[in-house]
Amino acid sequence: MASQSNIFSLANKSLKLDTVDDLAPYTQPLSSSTSITEVYLNGNTLGAPAATALAPLLSFQPLLETANLADLFTGRLLSEIPPAISALLTALLKCPKLHTIDLSDNAFGLNTVEPLVAFLKDAVPLRHLILNNNGLGPRAGALVAEALVQLAENKRAARARGEDVPELETIVCGRNRLEAASMAGWAAAYGALGTVKTVRMVQNGIRQEGVILLIREGLSKCPGLRVVDLQDNTFTKTGSLALAEVLPTWTELEELGVGDSLLGARGGVVLGETLQKGANKKLVTLKAQYNEIDAKGAQAITKAVEDGNLPALKRVELNGNKFSEDDEVVDKLRELLGDRRREAGADSDDEGWGLDELSDMEEESDEEDEGSDAEDEEEKEAKAEKVLEEADQEEGEKVLEKKDKDVDDLADALNKTL
């Protein structure tokens, strides 16, 4: 960990820095040292003149490894963002050791994404990329994915020249409205990179066809994945089957997040049966809450634990599914995980262990139980997927009628609410 003397931080000071004079009282640590390793500018608001003045101070930091530029433009006009972020990111390209950047909570619509794209293409030292809540949308999201494909090529070219270049290990891109329309680009990006270890793409409105494409054509090319978090997207049965195909290849996986993803009853069973194969022996955390998983699905997951196929598993989250919290399978799973916690000597209130609190369960009625044969389940899944497909088609037609300006208006609105 860097010493305090090597950290420059204005984090969360809510400073409004419009001009060079506004910035001047805070820059002395940067201007008087070339040994800064971490910079935290997050939680302030920078105008273009201030950002332009700050840029050269960043570019003269040869040891800089981490830059947090999250939430930098609250209250700024959309037109102010591109020159400001361009100045900062261009400067950071001159920092040869920069491996981590956080650009969350900044509006990157079509009119503001270009500086980010230019940076990503050439950020060869980058290992960890964090982009949460940027209002990208599918079109700007696809441009970001294309930039990552180019980054992968540039990393390979640098290695061919004999340079020591790290792999891009972490991609966090959640709450960005990426949708299914950008998943071909993201699949290509993961395929080109191939060595990503952590993927978090939660709450992106990705429908099942996009999930399938992302998993089969993209994440399947990353066998060293340790974290896959795709919560709050839409899998349905078909997405669950795609996950089941690829999941056994992720032998290093430690965390799987598919909560609130409409796996359905069949999807829950498929997930459990896949985990029973014993290929994911390093899995520590499984998040599958709010998925309409029934008792059969819970039983399949519990069996994977009971049979010793998940020896590292500590935490399972199943709240909000479709079985009773009083079901004997719940007691069994809680007992299994509790035994593991006690054997490890962990505290009973350690939230990294055990089964989550099942306080919001949706119990099936007797009528549903009696009529839940395989044919009925198939029909139910087919209807659900048809509804989603029709919704996607309708949404796509509406989007095509709009001009690019609408996307940027959305990003502008997001920026004003930050």
Q: Are 144 and 110 in contact (CB under 8 A)?
A: no
pLDDT tens track for 36-47: 999 999 999 999
Q: What percent of the chain has pLDDT over 90?
A: 84
CA quadruple 111, 198, 69, 133: dihedral positive or negative?
positive
Query: What value, to the nearest 5°, has the Cα angle with vertex 368 and ends 366 and 373?
Result: 120
pLDDT at residue 133, as a whole number: 97
Instruction: Using alpha carbons, select from 140, 219, 129, 215 the residue that is nearest to residue 167.
Output: 129
Does an H or E element contain 225, and which? none
Report the chain's mean pLDDT, rounded to a whole number.
90
CA atoms within 13 A on the CB side of 70: 16
pLDDT tens track for 205-239: 999 999 999 999 999 999 999 999 999 999 999 99
- Does pTM top 0.95 for this prediction? no
Question: What's at 405, amino acid-wise?
Answer: K
3-state SS class at 185: helix
Residues 6+ apart with CB under 8 A from 299: 272, 329
**Hey, how many other C-beta atoms are within 10 angstroms of the C-beta on 244?**
19
Taking only Cα atoms into account, the Rg of the chain, rounded to an integer number of angstroms, comes to 23
pLDDT tens track for 149-204: 999 999 999 999 999 999 999 999 999 999 999 999 999 999 999 999 999 999 99
pLDDT tens track for 369-393: 444 444 444 555 555 555 455 544 5
Q: What 8-state DSSP symbol labels residue 278?
A: S
Residue 233 backbone dihedrals phi, psi, to 5 degrees:
-120, -170
Give the span between the Cα atoms of 395 and 295, in whole angstroms.
Answer: 35
pLDDT at residue 348, as a whole number: 87
Q: Are 107 and 79 in contact (CB under 8 A)?
A: no
Q: What residue spans of 218-278 are helical by DSSP H?
A: 236-246, 264-275
Q: Are 181 and 137 in contact (CB under 8 A)?
A: no
Give the span between the Cα atoms of 42 and 177, in whole angstroms.
Answer: 23
pLDDT at residue 389, as a whole number: 53
Give the span between the Cα atoms of 185 and 138, in whole angstroms.
Answer: 10
Whole-number Cα distances in Å, 177 to 128, 206, 212: 21, 8, 17
